Every structure is written in structure tokens, then in C-alpha cells.
Amino acid sequence: MEIIDFLFAEEQLFTTITLLVLIALLIGNIITDKLKKYEDIDANTATALMDDDNLIILDVREKKERKNGYIDGDMHIPLGDVKNQFNKLDKNKSILVYCRSGSRSAHIAGLLTRNEFENVYNLKGGIQAWKRAKMPIKT
């Protein structure tokens, strides 16, 4: 009882609310991570996937970003167009999605899995991680 009184005392209220919000965000993040149906992979694991002829490498960056380099043999569909161009993607193939840093591609990987694509991978760290791993870049 004393702990509850302490946590909800007027001078502690802001700290208590902040703590509760942080705990809720942490729990939400853990649950989201467990429920996602795609796999985050690093550059080395991605290269192993590329030996498979049934792999689509999907770049979801904007056209101007590709001037800095892209992965050879990829398919380019900017983030905003992916949903309208599902018909260009084969649901029977594995899909490796990448962007600049891995955030946009994670969003698209989730979108793909929610739309019945099964073997979906997100390049963790995006093209930046690919470059850091000294993997080949096409310009």
C-alpha cells in the first residue's frame, strides 16, 4: 500500500506516468517482434539467400536514392507504390526487401506478410549495412 501511495503522490505523478508509458512501449515492442512474420537478416545471410533463383530482391527506396548504388539484379518499386504493384511480385518466391537503413523495408516486409507473402526477409541496416559489409554495389 505504501508503494502505491508513494507512486501516486502528487510530486511523483509525472515520474510514475513516464515509467508506465515506458513499460507499455517495451511490452508493445516485445509483442510486435514476436508476432512479425518476416525475418530480419544481415548482409552475409542475404548473400546466402541470393544463391536461390526463387528470390526477388526488392528495393523500396525512392528513385533518386538509387544513384548512390543498388544491389545488382534487384527490382525497384518505391515504398509508396508497393501496395499498388503486388501483382508484379510472385507469392511463391522469397522476397528480400531493402531500403537505406532498414526501417522502410521492415514496414514493407510486414505489409507483404499481411498480404499472404510467406518467405519475406528484411535486410537489417539496409543498403548502408550492405556497403559496410563491403558487398558489391551497382551504380
Q: Are residues 11 and 69 in the same domain?
A: no
Please tell me whether residues 103 and 62 are part of one structural domain: yes
Check pLDDT > 90 for residue 127.
yes
Task: Decide if 76 contacts 62 (C-beta within 8 A).
Answer: no
pLDDT at 34: 67
Based on the fold, state whether residues 103 and 61 are members of the same structural domain. yes
Residue 139, classed as helix, strand or coil, is: coil
Percent with pLDDT over 70 in the chain = 97
Confidence at residue 131, expressed as pLDDT on a 0 to 100 scale = 97
Does a structural domain hold residue 139?
Answer: no
What is the number of structural domains in the chain?
Answer: 2
- Same domain? For 82 and 110 the reply is yes
25 and 54, same domain (yes or no): no
pLDDT of residue 86: 92
Q: What is the pLDDT of residue 67?
A: 95
Structure-model confidence comparison of residues 130 and 30, the more confident one: 130
Q: What is the DSSP string of 56-86?
A: EEEE-S-GGGGGG-B-TT-EE--GGGTGGGG
Segment 99-118 mean pLDDT:
96
Q: Are strands 94-98 and 55-59 parallel, antiparallel or unpaired?
A: parallel
Q: What is the CATH number of the domain that holds 106?
A: 3.40.250.10
- Residue 137 included in any domain: no
Residues 18 and 43 in one domain: no
Based on the fold, state whether residues 18 and 50 are members of the same structural domain: no
Same domain, 75 and 51: yes
Asked if residue 13 belongs to a domain, the reply is yes
Shared-domain flag, residues 57 and 122 = yes
Domain range spanning residue 88?
38-132
Is 64 a domain residue? yes
Please state the separation of Cα 63 from the chain's center in Å.
19
Residues with catalytic function:
99
pLDDT for 48-89, tens place per residue? 999 888 999 999 999 999 999 999 999 999 999 999 999 999
